[in-house]
């Protein structure tokens, strides 16, 4: 597949997920508890930095643009498949979560513990899907700077997961502890 074509498809996938997030945000329940402004700004700053480093011309220089794997059909086609699967999984998780969703760490009015759909496989399937999509995107772009972006997003998600786990444990107590024992956080049966 031609590299430019693969990159256009990946960009389209990210635009689709952005549109889904924007539209479905209007159907979220009212928040009753939310993360601090400082932690929210920290998460947003890491996300923005990851985008800037990985996928804008600002960091398109030096060793950051080196390929991290030899160019093959796998780096394009495999990356596209991984990005598509990740986006699909994240969107499925987003719809399964329904009104409980928020871009920030929150507890919603009438919050429910969702364990169906992708939440039966992992506790944070939106993050699993986004990471898979980001790794697929990094394969398509095949530059070291994309791996730096993945690392920045992983740091941000680790922080958000810790905070979400705390909120959910406080909200659902033993029910959430049982869920944690039964279902891994990001990768089924592994982690």
Residues facing residue 107 across a β-bridge? 33
* Continuous H helices in 98-172: 125-141, 144-172
- The encoded tokens of residue 154 equal 């992983």
Residue 30 pLDDT exceeds 90: yes
Using CA atoms, how far apart are residues 75 and 63, in angstroms rounded to an integer?
A: 19
User: Sorting pLDDT into bands at 50, 70 and 90, what band is 175?
Assistant: very high
Question: Residue 10's closest CA among 103, 109, 89, 76?
Answer: 76
* Residues 148 and 52: beta-carbon distance below 8 Å: no
Residue 181 pLDDT exceeds 60: yes
Across 24-28, 77-81, 115-119, the highest mean pLDDT is recorded for 115-119
pTM of the model: 0.91
Report the percentage of the chain scoring pLDDT > 70. 97
* 3-182, CATH topology level: 1.20.120
Instruction: State the helix-helix crossing angle for 79-97 and 3-25, rounded to 10 degrees.
Output: 0
Instruction: State the helix-helix crossing angle for 125-141 and 79-97, rounded to 10 degrees.
Output: 160
Q: What is the mean pLDDT of residues 97-101?
A: 93
- Out of 64-78, 113-127, 145-159, which region has the weakest mean confidence (pLDDT)? 64-78
Using CA atoms, how far apart are residues 93 and 102, in angstroms rounded to an integer?
A: 12
* Residues 55 and 146: beta-carbon distance below 8 Å: yes
What local confidence, expressed as pLDDT, does residue 189 receive? 75
Residue 120 Cα distances to 123, 125, 180, angstroms = 7, 9, 11
Residue 39 Cα distances to 111, 163, 169, 171, angstroms = 21, 9, 19, 19
Q: What is the mean pLDDT of residues 145-168?
A: 96
């Amino acid at each position: 597949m031609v590299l430019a074509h693969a990159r256009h498809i990946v960009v389209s996938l990210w635009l689709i997920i952005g549109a889904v997030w924007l539209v479905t945000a209007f159907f979220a329940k009212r928040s009753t508890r939310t993360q601090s402004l400082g932690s929210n700004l920290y998460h947003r700053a890491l996300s923005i930095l990851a985008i800037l480093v990985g996928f804008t011309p600002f960091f398109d220089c030096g060793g950051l643009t080196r390929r991290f794997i030899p160019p093959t059909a796998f780096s394009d086609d495999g990356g596209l498949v991984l990005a598509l699967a990740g986006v699909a999984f994240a969107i499925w998780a987003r719809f399964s979560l329904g009104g409980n969703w928020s871009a920030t760490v929150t507890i919603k009015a009438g919050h429910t513990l969702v364990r169906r759909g992708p939440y039966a496989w992992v506790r944070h399937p939106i993050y699993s899907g986004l990471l898979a999509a980001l790794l697929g995107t990094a394969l398509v772009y095949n530059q070291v700077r994309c791996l730096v972006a993945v690392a920045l997003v992983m740091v941000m998600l680790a922080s958000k997961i810790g905070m979400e786990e705390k909120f959910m444990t406080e909200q659902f107590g033993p029910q959430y502890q049982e869920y944690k024992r039964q279902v891994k956080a990001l990768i089924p049966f592994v982690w």
